[in-house]
């Protein structure tokens, strides 16, 4: 059980860092403009759902010792 939790936690951390790097990538002015225009894309909605799920996961599974 504990190993499964640790694996899941590592997976979520990796996904979080990938998401942060994707959202904060710097590019040329055209790329920034294109990313801004595409902000309403399904990928953004997917990223938002993922972050909400992660927050809920950590809030509901927090068990202080």
Q: What pLDDT does residue 4 have?
A: 80
Given a contact cutoff of 8 angstroms between Cβ atoms, the answer to whether 13 and 50 are in contact is no
Helices (H) and strands (E) in the chain, counts: 3, 0
- Is residue 39 assigned to a domain? yes
Domain span at 22: 2-60
Round to whole Å and give the CA distance between 39 and 49. 14
- Is residue 7 assigned to a domain? yes
Q: Which residue has the higher pLDDT, 32 or 1?
A: 1
What is the average per-residue pLDDT within 42-57? 75
- Is residue 18 assigned to a domain? yes
Q: What pLDDT does residue 30 have?
A: 53
- Is residue 65 assigned to a domain? no
Q: What pLDDT does residue 51 have?
A: 79
What is the average per-residue pLDDT within 35-62? 70
What is the average per-residue pLDDT within 1-18? 80
Q: What pLDDT does residue 55 have?
A: 77
Domain count, the chain: 1
With a CB cutoff of 8 Å and minimum separation 6, the contacts of 51 are 16, 19
Residue 47: Cβ within 10 Å count = 16
């Amino acid at each position: 059980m504990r190993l499964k939790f640790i694996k899941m936690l590592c997976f979520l951390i990796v996904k979080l860092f990938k998401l942060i790097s994707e959202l904060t990538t710097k590019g040329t002015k055209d790329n920034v403009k294109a990313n801004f225009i595409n902000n309403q894309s399904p990928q953004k909605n997917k990223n938002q759902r993922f972050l909400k799920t992660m927050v809920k996961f950590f809030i509901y599974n927090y068990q202080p010792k």
